[in-house]
Chains A and B, each alone.
Chain A
Amino acid sequence: EVQLVQSGAEVKKPGATVKISCKVSGYTFTDYYMHWVQQAPGKGLEWMGLVDPEDGETIYAEKFQGRVTITADTSTDTAYMELSSLRSEDTAVYYCATVSRGTTYLDYWGQGTLVTVSS
């Protein structure tokens, strides 16, 4: 059974950095790209970026470019999303989700991690 288990909720001050983990099991980590999606309270989904665990290559949405870093650790089958220079608008649930090579759809999702940015 494929599982993506994310780290717990975080509370951060404006200007700080948050790093969220997404540990996978039930499949070969390098067979899927790992994507990250943001969902602000009461709002829709927004694609942030992806990492190819096989070689570490990343693609980021322009909106988050320069503030987001997505990495993958093949020794622990864990992906990470780090967001810096946090502001109140970054308060959101962040999801990791997989995309199988050769496809374009997000088939497996983590449970989500709530990040609250507040002074």
Chain B
Amino acid sequence: QSALTQPASVSGSPGQSITISCTGTSSDVGGYNYVSWYQQHPGKAPKLMIYDVSKRPSGVSNRFSGSKSGNTASLTISGLQAEDEADYYCSSYTSSSTSHYVFGTGTKVTVL
């Protein structure tokens, strides 16, 4: 099971919007509405930001939103803030015989 493909880095200025893509296959992203997104600051555990493609857990800012089209899911951060600078990982349930879940390659978000 190969990792889902994400851009290595995305950057934006404070107040701008950025979008991170996450490309998989019909066995994972495209086959299920079970995509989730995690934010990870250096030295910290990942934090759930989006689940089931577009739902936000309680306490997560509405500046974070998710969507999916075909085999590609996306995370959009609007009104970019300094505290959003972190690594972001997508994840999906997969029907692969070699794994149950698959993560993305990770994207470093830099706030300029």
Give residues in A with beta carbon < 8 Å to B: 35, 37, 44-47, 49-50, 59, 61-63, 95, 97, 103-107, 109-112
Contact = CB atoms under 8 A, between A and B. Distances in A.
A49 B105 CA distance: 18
Contacts of A97: 46
Contacts of A62: 1, 97-99
Contacts, number: 67
Interface residues of B, number: 26
A46 B103 contact: yes
Contacts of A44: 3, 89, 103-106
B112 interface: no
B57 interface: yes
Given A44-B3, A45-B106, A106 B99 contact: no
Contact of A105 (B45, B48, B97, B103): B48
Contacts of B46: 37, 45, 95, 97, 106, 109
Contact of B36 (A49, A61, A95, A104): A104
A112 B34 CA distance: 24
